[in-house]
Chains A and B, each alone.
Chain A
């Protein structure tokens, strides 16, 4: 299974600022995913990031608010731009399984963001 790290693990930010979250995988993967999870709630997919192409965003999420980079097969960043308190959440990255299975994903430990 892939080992995934995220930075930062948590942060407290002021409204109007931006935060970039990094996701590093210990092996090369084709697809990386970014999720948002409110405490006690389910996971909501923000976007899918493939290396060498633009990220694909889910309904309700736009590139201007959540720009994503995927410079290589082991790394991705998610930026939360012009933050408001409503962006306070846990942000998780994940990757597909070793054989490219969509049903088995490995998750990073998450970034807990608080916007004041």
Chain B
């Protein structure tokens, strides 16, 4: 089976850097995706890592270590609008996405 673990909640200050971790156990692994969901909104795709290393997209970066079954999402220069839930997810061979439990990020002024 598949399981993904994330911290339930993270709090950070505006302008700071925050890292949201994700550890996974999967029967087959293709890569790790990250999604953002604001309260009352739909999940939106942020990034995908198929290979080890860091992928940077503006203020957001995502990292993957396949040997450690671990990845993280790094948010820099935090803004109030970054307060949201963040989900890691893995696709399986049936084109399904398996989502992690989600991390609620609260950005304080």
Contact = CB atoms under 8 A, between A and B. Distances in A.
B41 A103 contact: no
Interface residues of chain B: helix, strand, loop or mixed (majority): loop
A33 B99 contact: no
A109 B48 CA distance: 22
Nearest to A59: B1
Interface string B20-49: 000000000011010000000111110010
Interface in A2-45: 31, 33, 40-45
A47 to B, nearest CB: 10
Given A106-B45, A109-B41, A45 B33 contact: no
Interface residues of A, number: 25
B28 to A, nearest CB: 12
B99 to A, nearest CB: 5
A44 B76 CA distance: 29
A1 to B, nearest CB: 8
Given A102-B95, A104-B48, A105-B97, 20 more contacts: A31-B95, A33-B96, A40-B104, A42-B99, A43-B43, A43-B87, A43-B99, A45-B96, A48-B96, A56-B94, A92-B43, A94-B43, A96-B95, A103-B30, A103-B33, A103-B50, A106-B45, A107-B42, A107-B43, A108-B42
Interface of A: 31, 33, 40-45, 48, 56, 58, 92, 94, 96-97, 101-110
Contacts of B98: 45
A102 B98 CA distance: 10
A31 B102 CA distance: 24
A56 to B, nearest CB: 8
Contacts of A109: 41-42
15 contacts: A42-B100, A43-B99, A44-B99, A45-B96, A48-B94, A92-B43, A97-B45, A101-B48, A103-B31, A104-B45, A104-B48, A105-B43, A107-B44, A109-B42, A110-B42
